[in-house]
């Protein structure tokens, strides 16, 4: 049997991470994976998370199965956090949520729901898109098409996106990143989101919102505004939520899949369908991360501590981005720096070709994706000048 297995494609991000690990140069810099790192280069456990874990340990909660939908209190907390208590005249009241194995698990579970409901559905994703969007959707049996995201100057292309999505048919699904677009760091304006919501309501396609970085762009409430707007304007919507980044629960794999319907009656079969899909994928999600998040969101003191830490993380990311833009400007690359300065969230797109990114890696030991994406949240502040100097050097050599 095994001799029939053809060589599969390697995961590009983990392949780069392995190459970084094998690089013996002491000055090497890993900006590949989307992980927040502090000034020391470590990924800290948030103080709110540590305190919640201590409280949970003292209670010695049972390790019994939670069930196919996971932690019910966590699911309620996610609905409240994302949709808000007053959002859309009670959007949470026409929503179903189930806990998942992180945000990727939520994406796959919702993709399976789409396929089971309407096999062969077309799902639209941005170009460029998060590297795992297309594989997850196609693995679930869905057809994938793309819509434009950036114009020639690296700004959000409102006209291009709306023109492309004008081709989306009723009951197609459009995958949208709610904030801090991965990989570009470029988000629509409030006016552009209004236009997207209007188009969705007019054409009848279903928004599918991927929320992985809320709190790390313009602040938690601002980062959730687009999702809440869509919830107000459309009868049906899907939302995949990750707690990896904004709670720092990377290895605890904590996420949530949310389905909004026109009414509670329209949701009568949704939770069971999601449970059945989960049963065949992973059976039940892990409890620990969900319990931690619930403990934080249900306690005023822990919630306030978490929000303060999240704001601190966002401020450091912004400082890194401003610092990189300032260094590049000082080195004579002001136009490129202006593009970087407008980006938001954990990731930035360097103005480099694939060959230039390879030169950045080989000559300066700076690791980012060949598409130009770097994890600005993983950059120690004292290494900002080194990154700028490397980028400036390869820019000066031209694209070839």
Give the CATH number of the domain where residue 107 resides.
Answer: 3.40.640.10
Question: Which residues, in sequence order, are CB contacts of 364 under 8 Å at separation 6+?
Answer: 27, 29, 386, 389, 390, 393
User: What domain count does the chain have?
Assistant: 2
Whether residues 277 and 336 fall in one domain? no
Q: 304 in a domain, yes or no? A: no
Q: Are residues 258 and 145 in the same domain?
A: yes
Residues 293 and 336 in one domain: no
Whether residues 253 and 139 fall in one domain: yes
User: From CA 325, how far away is CA 319, in angstroms rounded?
Assistant: 10
Q: At 61, is the secondary structure helix, strand, or coil?
A: coil
> Do 142 and 172 sit in the same domain of this protein?
yes
Pair 103, 160 in one domain: yes
Q: Is the dihedral of CA 274, 275, 279, 284 positive or negative?
A: positive
Look at residue 55 and tell me if it is in a domain: no
Whole domain around residue 75: which residue ranges? 65-298
Alpha carbons 106 and 258: distance in angstroms, whole number: 8
Q: What is the pLDDT of residue 165?
A: 97
What would the pLDDT profile of 141-154 be if each residue is shown by its tens digit?
A: 999 999 999 999 89
Helices (H) and strands (E) in the chain, counts: 14, 11
Vertex 352 angle, CA 351 and 354, to 5°: 145
pTM of the model: 0.95
Distance between CA atoms of 385 and 391, rounded to whole angstroms? 10
pLDDT at 10: 84
Q: Within a domain: residue 53?
A: no
Q: Please indicate, yes or no, whether residues 194 and 322 belong to a single structural domain of this protein.
A: no
Give the distance, in angstroms, between the CA of residue 74 and the centroid of all CA atoms in the same chain: 19
CATH number, domain of 363, equals 3.90.1150.10
Among 114, 120, 118, 108, CA closest to 257: 108
Q: List the one residue out of 311, 4, 245, 261 whose CA is nearest residue 103.
A: 245
Of 285, 278, 290, 277, which Cα lies nearest the Cα of 244? 290
Q: Distance (Å, rounded) from C-alpha 277 to C-alpha 281?
A: 6
**Is residue 88 pLDDT above 50, yes or no?**
no
CA-based max dimension of the chain: 62
Q: Could you give the CA distance from residue 253 to residue 112 in angstroms, rounded to a whole number?
A: 19
Which range is least confidently modeled, 192-196, 201-205, 282-286, 396-400? 396-400
Two tokens at 132?
A: 């795992």
- Clarify whether residues 267 and 131 are in a common domain: yes
Residue 29 domain-assigned (yes or no): yes
Asked whether residue 29 falls in the same domain as residue 165, the answer is no
Tell how far CA 71 is from the center of its chain.
22
Q: Kindly state whether residues 127 and 234 are assigned to the same domain.
A: yes
Tell how far CA 329 is from the center of its chain.
29
Residue finishing a domain among 298, 325, 344: 298
pLDDT digits (tens, 9 = 90+) for 29-82: 999 999 999 988 899 999 999 999 999 999 877 888 999 999 999 999 999 999
Closest CA to 59 of 213, 218, 287, 276: 287
15-19, 78-82, 87-91, 394-398: least confidently modelled range: 87-91
**Structure confidence by residue, pLDDT tens digits, 296-324:** 999 999 999 999 999 999 999 999 999 99
Domain boundary residue, one of 298, 325, 358: 298
Tell me which DSSP letter residue 369 carries: -
Report the candidate in 378, 342, 354 with the shortest Cα–Cα distance to residue 32.
378
Same domain? For 265 and 198 the reply is yes
359 is a domain residue? yes
**Of 307, 299, 306, nearest in space to 77 by CA:** 299
Asked, for residue 310, whether it belongs to a domain, the answer is no
| Residue 377 belongs to some domain of the structure | yes
């Amino acid at each position: 049997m095994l001799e029939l297995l053809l060589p599969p494609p390697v995961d590009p991000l983990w392949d780069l991470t392995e190459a970084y690990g094998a690089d013996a140069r002491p000055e090497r810099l890993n900006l590949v994976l989307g992980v927040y790192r502090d000034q020391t280069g470590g990924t800290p456990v948030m103080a709110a998370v540590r305190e919640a874990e201590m409280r949970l340990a003292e209670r010695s909660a049972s390790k019994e199965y939670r069930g196919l939908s996971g932690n019910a209190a966590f699911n309620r907390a996610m609905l409240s956090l994302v949709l808000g208590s007053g959002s859309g005249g009670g959007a949470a009241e026409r929503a179903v949520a189930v806990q998942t194995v992180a945000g990727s698990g939520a994406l796959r579970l919702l993709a399976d729901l789409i396929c089971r409901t309407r096999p062969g559905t077309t799902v639209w994703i941005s170009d460029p898109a998060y590297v795992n969007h297309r594989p997850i959707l196609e693995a679930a049996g869905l057809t994938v098409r793309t819509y434009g995201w950036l114009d020639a100057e690296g700004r959000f292309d409102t006209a291009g996106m709306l023109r492309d999505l004008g081709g989306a048919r009723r009951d197609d699904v459009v995958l949208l990143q709610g904030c801090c677009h991965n990989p570009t760091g470029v988000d629509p304006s409030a006016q552009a989101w209004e236009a997207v919501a209007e188009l969705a309501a007019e054409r009848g396609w279903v928004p599918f919102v991927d929320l992985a970085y809320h709190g790390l762009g313009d602040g938690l409430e601002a980062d959730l505004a687009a999702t809440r707007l869509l919830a107000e304007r459309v009868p049906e919507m899907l939302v995949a939520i990750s707690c990896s980044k904004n709670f720092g629960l990377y290895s605890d794999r904590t996420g949530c899949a949310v389905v909004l319907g026109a009414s509670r009656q329209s949701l009568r079969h949704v939770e069971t369908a999601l449970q059945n899909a989960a049963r065949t994928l992973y059976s039940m999600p892990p409890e620990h991360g969900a319990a931690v998040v619930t403990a934080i969101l249900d306690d005023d003191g822990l919630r306030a501590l978490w929000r303060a830490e999240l704001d601190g993380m966002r401020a450091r990311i912004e400082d890194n981005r401003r610092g990189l833009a300032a260094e590049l400007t000082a080195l004579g690359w002001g136009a490129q720096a202006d593009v970087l300065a407008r980006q938001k969230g954990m990731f930035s797109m360097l103005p480099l070709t694939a060959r230039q990114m390879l030169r950045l890696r080989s000559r300066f030991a700076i690791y980012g994706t060949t598409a130009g994406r770097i994890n600005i949240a993983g950059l120690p502040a004292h290494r900002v000048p080194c990154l700028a100097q490397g980028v400036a050097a390869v820019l000066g050599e031209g694209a070839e």
